[in-house]
Structure 1
Amino acid sequence: MTALAAVWSGTSFSLQRVPLPDLADGEVLVEIELSTVCGSDLHTVAGHRSTPVPTVLGHESVGRVVAIGANATVDFGDRVVWTVGTACGTCRRCMRGVPQKCVDLRKYGHTAISDRWTLNGGFATHIHLLAGTRAVVVPEDLPAALLAPAGCATATVVCAARRIGLTAGDAVVVLGCGMLGLTAVAYALDRGAVSVVACDPDPARRAAASEIGATAVCAPEELAEVARGADAIFELSGSSSSVAAALDVVELGGRIALVGSVFPSSAVAFDPEFLVRNLVTVSGSHNYAPSDLVEAVEFLQRTPAAHLLAAAVGERHPLEEIDAAFASGRSAVRGAVG
């Protein structure tokens, strides 16, 4: 038996038939139901992000377990989402609570294929989950478009919120209203934020944030007037000007999560005295721990914005139309393959 994979060469996709793997202990084979096109996938294809090739891109997916190795942590037939990478659980980084930076980390959608691990990304009919991957069983009644981003966008927001200690009563600012930003608006409200200001240059994305429940929305040039005095800020765009804007509007004792800066950009100047005297905390947050994925799935089950987050995923394209899915991902919040 074989799977079909869209293999990225560094310049283009090619559809290739790939043998299904023999599973080792702790490994799982999942048939992909839906994968979404993350911003990092777009950056890779646009040449803004370096990725080993050839590879199978895609790391936001939901699917069904169709084969398991010995000692697997899920069962045949389970509908699952999974962590963006593996973790050994025993190295110093894992033991310090940052398993997403495991010294033996292998990331889905970001690793060159090999004879042993060819189905290593979500843009395929199947994916080969290695031991050390946390798979979370998800409800049958939740739409795939809601669940697929859980393994990146949703869990990343949960981790960022945890790192800056998001609490009830916080005045929150969300900078960038893509999938991460819309999720951050919904999650801040879920956690009891007293207000959520969402900022984005795109009027359509501001409107989507408003529909989810943002207290106020604004364009970047309006931020200082609308959002000064923020207790918790999520910077999700990666724009240097947006990072600087976060420093301009943060409240005394405020916390800033820098999440979007995952590609090269210009340096940002800051005044260390301002940070010291105003007790400001700036935290980098990249990917997430397995517990954050568990919380992400629980959040998606309880949020009243579930249908709006699912609607942020654009038209679904078959794997054979992966180029069209990427094209829609440049206009919609998320493209979709499956």
Structure 2
Amino acid sequence: MPEHAHHTALQSSALQPSALQPSAHLPTAALPASASRRGLSVVLPRTAEAMVWSGVDLPLERVAVPGVLLEPGDVLVEVELATVCGSDVHTALGRRPSAKPLVLGHEQVGRIVAVGEQAYAANGMPLRVGQRVVWSVIVSCGTCPRCRRGLPQKCLGLAKYGHERMRRGWDLSGGFATHVQVRAGTAIVVVDEQVPASVLAPASCATATVVAALGAASVLVPLAGATMLVTGAGMLGVTACAMATDAGALVVVSDPDEGRRQLALDFGAAAVADPGALCESATEITSVLAALQDAGAAEPTIALELSGARPAVQSAIDLIGVGGVVVLVGTVSPGEPVLLDPESIVRRMVTLRGVHNYTPGDLQQAVTYLSGAWHRHPFSALVGATFALERADAALSSAATGRHPRVGITPQPPATLG
């Protein structure tokens, strides 16, 4: 068990009531707090709990955190719903190196229950108790050379929710918990009360990453009128279908799973193909693209590779048309190299770009898009079963099957999810 488990977690002494304004469902007396030069100490109305991962094949351990110390710029958020990202599964299965113990989870939506001094949303507005929010997967300093270049997601002092070792002072560092301490340097976006939690939670990773990928492509090739190839029809793939189609692109999706191909059609794809299937001595995806061009469509000039599968990366590079751009997103783990023919790249004037995570502006754009698009596309259906927090192990197991793009975890009664 982590050394800071149970009642050894941060707990302030001789706490006095303050001007801290709780949300409507948390009475003022329930949030005693005291300010100090170090920050604002907050004792929770009920002890916060986090589900802690300590290693492969070990069950998640329930750890109590009675209080937190909010530094200037920090906020404390009560989690409404977290969704299980593929990277959470990869961590739990030991497929990616991770510090431990840690609190998994970096896709979530929640409500602010305490605010430190000088806490602001991504749009510059002051944050207040009671607001419903999502927040970025990363914490950045804002002043290092990379941050100044517009790459906060690669900050030299980077920290990431759901990826950092649980430690004293930042116990509530992931979404698989009742609360998350959202640190200064995190992009926070206030969200609409009417949008379902199941739609909003993935904004913090999947949706914002797709915004970043489409932005990287559209700098070189406008989306309107373009033929786009998307390899991989998971959460990112179907989101890309919807966003690109809404922007005027004709989207073709390649995925080996029949159910996912159907889902891509539901989200606006013009055509789908099985990358492993043959059609008259050519691959199915090649035949589909050729048929679309025969019908008057343009050759593919944008390709988003979202699966991380080596054959898919190779296919995206090989099939992109003249002047096209290939945006690589899915390859976040070491794998076999792909064949790159420099002459072909030069003669076709192809651009290769890599996208990893996103900027605060991307997150804001993701929330804005979802707030309008969830009526047009079945985003709320992408989250399968929702598990109670204490059943987070079962949620990870369910997510590992891949039956649904996302699985939910909530410390709240299901009726409150909206």
Shift of 1:262: 0.5
Partner residue in 1 for 2:94: 47
Q: Is the 8 A contact 1:314 1:335 kept in 2?
A: yes
CA distance in 1, matches of 2:385, 2:84: 11
CA separation of 1:304 and 1:9: change in aligned 2, threshold 3 A: closer
Structure 1: stretches of 5+ with no match in the other structure: none
Distance 1:323 1:306, change over 3 A: farther
- Following the alignment from structure 2 to structure 1, what is the Cα–Cα distance between the partners of residues 310 and 375? 29
Counterpart CA distance in 2 for 1:20 and 1:171 is: 52
- Which residue number corresponds to residue 227 of structure 1? 289
Distance 1:34 1:307, change over 3 A: farther
Amino acid of the structure 1 residue aligned with 2:104: L
1:271 aligns with 2:341: yes
Is 1:296 matched up with 2:341? no
Which stretch of structure 1 is more off in the superposition, 307-316 or 273-282?
307-316
Question: In structure 1, which of residues 8, 13, 17 is the aligned counterpart of residue 64 of structure 2?
Answer: 17
Within 1, Cα distance between the matches of 2:287 and 2:377? 31
Whether contact under 8 Å (1:300, 1:306) holds in the other structure is no
Report the counterpart of residue 105 of structure 1 in structure 2. Answer: 158
User: Is 1:117–2:170 an aligned residue pair?
Assistant: yes
Residue-by-residue CA offset, 1:174-220 (whole Å, 9 max, x unaligned): 11011000100011012211x10011111111111101111001111
Match of 2:266 in 1: 211
Map 1:1-338; keep pairs closer than 5 Å: 1=44, 2-11=47-56, 12=58, 13-73=60-120, 74-165=127-218, 166-193=222-249, 195-221=250-276, 222-227=284-289, 229-303=299-373, 308-330=378-400, 331-338=403-410
Cα separation, 2, equivalents of 1:76 and 1:167: 39
Question: RMSD between aligned alpha carbons?
Answer: 1.2
Distance 1:123 1:306 in 2: 30
Contact 1:26 1:72 in 2 (8 A): yes
What is the rounded CA distance, in whole Å, between the counterparts of 1:309 and 1:267 in structure 2?
Answer: 34
**Cα shift at 1:304:** 5.4
* Greater mean alpha carbon deviation, residues 140-149 or residues 1-10: 1-10
> Post-superposition shift, 1:167?
2.2
Distance in 1 between the 2:207 and 2:359 partners?
12
Q: Helix, strand or coil: the match of 1:147?
A: helix
Report the structure number with the largest CA radius of gyration. Answer: 2
Q: Are the equivalent residues in 2 in contact too, given 1:227–1:249 (CA < 8 A)? A: no
Is 2:75–2:115's contact at 8 Å kept on the other side of the alignment?
Answer: yes
- What is the TM-score normalised by the length of structure 1? 0.97
Once residues 116 and 307 of structure 1 are traced to their aligned partners in structure 2, the CA distance between those partners, rounded to angstroms, is: 41
Instruction: Work out the CA distance in 1 between the residues paired with 2:375 and 2:91.
Output: 30
Query: 1:232-252, CA deviations, whole angstroms, 9 ceiling, x for partnerless residues?
Result: 111000001100010121010
Question: Is the deviation greater in 223-232 or in 317-326?
Answer: 223-232
Residues of 1 paired with 2:233 and 2:181: CA distance?
32
Looking at structure 2, the residues matched to 151 and 264 of structure 1 have their Cα atoms a distance apart, in angstroms, of 24
TM-score, normalised relative to structure 2: 0.79
For residues 305 and 170 of structure 1, do their structure 2 counterparts lie closer, same or farther at Cα, with a shift above 3 Å needed? farther
% of aligned pairs identical? 49
Alpha carbons 2:199, 2:374 under 8 Å: kept? no
CA distance in 2, matches of 1:110, 1:135: 18
Give the conservation status (yes or no) of the 8 Å contact 1:210–1:217: yes
Aligned position for 2:21: none
Q: Which amino acid aligns with 2:329?
A: V
Q: CA deviation at 1:305?
A: 6.0
Identify which of structures 1 and 2 has the higher relative contact order when contacts are C-alpha pairs closer than 8 Å and 6+ apart.
1
Q: Distance in 2 between matches of 1:311 and 1:260?
A: 23
1:49 counterpart SS class: coil
Q: Which amino acid aligns with 1:179?
A: M
**Aligned equivalents of 1:269, 1:82: Cα separation in 2:** 38
Secondary structure of 1:20's aligned partner: strand
Separation (CA, whole Å) in 2 of partners of 1:60 and 1:169: 32
Deviations 1:256-277 (A, max 9, x none): 1100000121111110111111
Write the distance in 2 (CA, Å) between the matches of 1:4 and 1:314.
Answer: 24
Aligned equivalents of 2:398, 2:379: Cα separation in 1: 16
Across the two proteins, how many residue pairs are aligned to each other? 337
String of CA shifts for 1:128-172, please: whole Å, max 9, x gaps: 011000100000000000000000000000001111225211111
My pick for the range that moved more, 296-305 or 24-33, is 296-305
| Residue 302 of structure 1, CA deviation | 2.0
